[in-house]
Structure 1
Amino acid sequence: MLEVEGLEAAYGESRILFGIDLTVRQGEVVTLLGRNGMGKTTTIKSIFGMLKPRGGRVSVDGDDLTGAEPHRVALAGLGLVPEGRQIFPTLSVEENLRATARRGKWDLARIYDLFPRLHERRRNMGNQLSGGEQQMLAIGRALMTNPRLVVLDEATEGLAPLIRADIWACLTRIKAEGEAILVIDKNVDALTRFADRHVVIEKGRVVWTGTTPEILATPEVKDRFLHV
């Protein structure tokens, strides 16, 4: 499905990515791991066309989307839950959900079933929600585009432990629906409970890839590349 090959990116003269390779297959959950500042968000921005790659290739089912405008990437079936949530603050919860909706299995009823709190707050403005509610809304908004792949940049950053648990439970339900997921988060223990494969990057390069059993059996990966 999603294939990233040799992806290179820079901000001005400062190179950030040096040949990132990763794939996400249909129905698979893949994590992108690494310490802060190692290129995870830059990888996501480059995939979605928010930052034009300097080299490499991004494709979905063989369709070359390298450097495509974000709306083209969305139309190809990628839905983004961005770092910082970036919901529309002066639209209601329901207006946020409808803003980018496309027809498909994910509709308002299913989003409200997944996140009952959003149904309770459906008439509240985006800026009236807690951080956890905003993250639920950002996930729901991405699902309302009926994507083939959901990409989450910092899935639970800054959230209270109970809210984090709710988010992980919802992502597990989304996986059970057959959705492909690419997720960035610092909670490796939570990620290994539901992800299939992991890609670890260090200073803009892939330094390790493997399955969940493999990363659990290789604690030196966490010690070397993921601990602060």
Structure 2
Amino acid sequence: MNPLLSLSGVESFYGASQALFGMTLDIERGAFVTLLGRNGMGKSTTVKSITGLMRPARGEILFEGQPVHALPSHRIARAGLGLVPEGRQVFPTLTVRENLVATAGNRHGASDPWTLQRIYALFPRLQEREKHLASHLSGGEQQMLAVGRALMTNPKLLILDEATEGLAPLIRGEIWNCLKQLKASGLSILCIDKNLAPMLALGDRHYVVDKGRVAWQGDSAALRRDMGSLQAYLGV
């Protein structure tokens, strides 16, 4: 069976400055995959290349076996990619409810689609603040809202860029518990985060990124075994 998402030899640039040098990775259906590495090594650029926010200069990105590397970002999103971007980027002048329904849809006929009720069950705090403007939420609440908004598109692949960055420990725990539930439901997930312990617990496969290329890949058992030799790449 083909991977749900496959990158092969992807090279991306910011102007004349090259950021990715032959990035290659696969995400199997139902897998929780992580991108690890120090800041500025190409993790977010990989996400931007996948989601169409950057167009790779070379290489191939396949989603469900179809090339998407030349498509605009809205076409890629409609194909089934849900993004929780770095910095959350919720719609500040819309309410919680309006944020959740703004881009909602069940475009691929999910048998148990995400609804407001399911999002509120996952994040009860969002229901409590349903009528509040997103700009009035705490950082943790905005991250919950960003996750809920992505889920309301009923994605086949959920991508989180810095899943818990800048959040209080209690809120981080709520986000990781949510991701644990989503993994158990069979949702495919690509996650970037600096907190290794929950990534090791949830991850099926890990990619360590260094200077725009994959420096190491393997499962959680292999990552634990090789942690000592990878510390320079991970910044831990």
In which range does the TM-score fall when normalised by the shorter chain? over 0.9
Instruction: Name 2:175's counterpart in structure 1.
Output: 167
- Cα distance between partner residues in 2 of 1:87 and 1:102: 17
Q: Could you tell me whether the CA contact under 8 Å between 1:215 and 1:221 is conserved in 2?
A: no
**Structure 1 match to 2:20:** 17
SS of equivalent residue, structure 1 residue 217: helix
Equivalent residue number for residue 158 of structure 1? 166
User: Are 1:31 and 2:1 matched, yes or no?
Assistant: no
Counterparts of 1:221 and 1:25, CA distance in 2: 27
User: Is 2:198 the partner of 1:195?
Assistant: no
Cα distance change of structure 1 residues 188 and 221 upon mapping to structure 2, 3 Å threshold: farther
Aligned AA for 2:90? I
Map of 1:82 onto structure 2: 85
Where structure 1 has 5 or more consecutive residues not aligned to the other structure, the ranges are none
Tell me which residue corresponds to 1:52: 55
1:195 Cα shift? Answer: 1.1
In the alignment of these two chains, the number of paired residues is 228
State the AA in 2 paired with 1:179.
L
2:99 corresponds to which residue? 96
Aligned 8 A contact 1:2 1:23 in 2: yes
Instruction: Give the partner amino acid of 1:150.
Output: L
Greater than 3 Å deviation, 4+ residue runs? none
Question: 3-state SS of the aligned residue for 1:175?
Answer: helix
Deviations 1:172-207 (A, max 9, x none): 011111100000000111110111110011000100
User: Where do 1:200-215 residues align within 5 Å?
Assistant: 200-215=208-223
User: Per the alignment, in what secondary structure is the counterpart of residue 17 of structure 1?
Assistant: coil
Which residue identity does 1:73 align to in structure 2? I
Q: Deviations over 1:23-68 (max 9, x none)?
A: 1111100001110000111111111111110110111111100131
Displacement of 1:221 in angstroms is 4.3
Report the residue type matching 1:60 in the other structure. Answer: F
Say whether 1:139 aligns with 2:142: no
SS at match of 2:104: coil
Give secondary structure in 1 for the equivalent of 2:55: coil
Question: Matches of 2:38 and 2:133 in 1, distance apart?
Answer: 34
What is the Cα deviation at residue 220 of structure 1? 2.3
Q: Distance in 1 between matches of 2:170 and 2:221?
A: 26
TM-score of the aligned structures, taking structure 2 as reference length: 0.95
TM-score (norm 1): 0.98
Which stretch of structure 1 is more off in the superposition, 145-154 or 42-51? 42-51
Question: In structure 2, what is the Cα distance between the partners aligned to 1:75 and 1:84?
Answer: 22
**Distance in 2 between residues matched to 1:106 and 1:4, nearest whole Å:** 28
Aligned to 1:64: 67
Work out the CA distance in 2 between the residues paired with 1:165 and 1:42.
Answer: 26
> What SS class does the counterpart of residue 165 from structure 1 fall into?
helix
Q: CA RMSD in A?
A: 0.9
Corresponding residue number in structure 1 for 2:192: 184
User: What amino acid is the match of 2:198?
Assistant: A
Work out which of the residue numbers 220, 223, 226 in structure 1 matches 2:231: 223
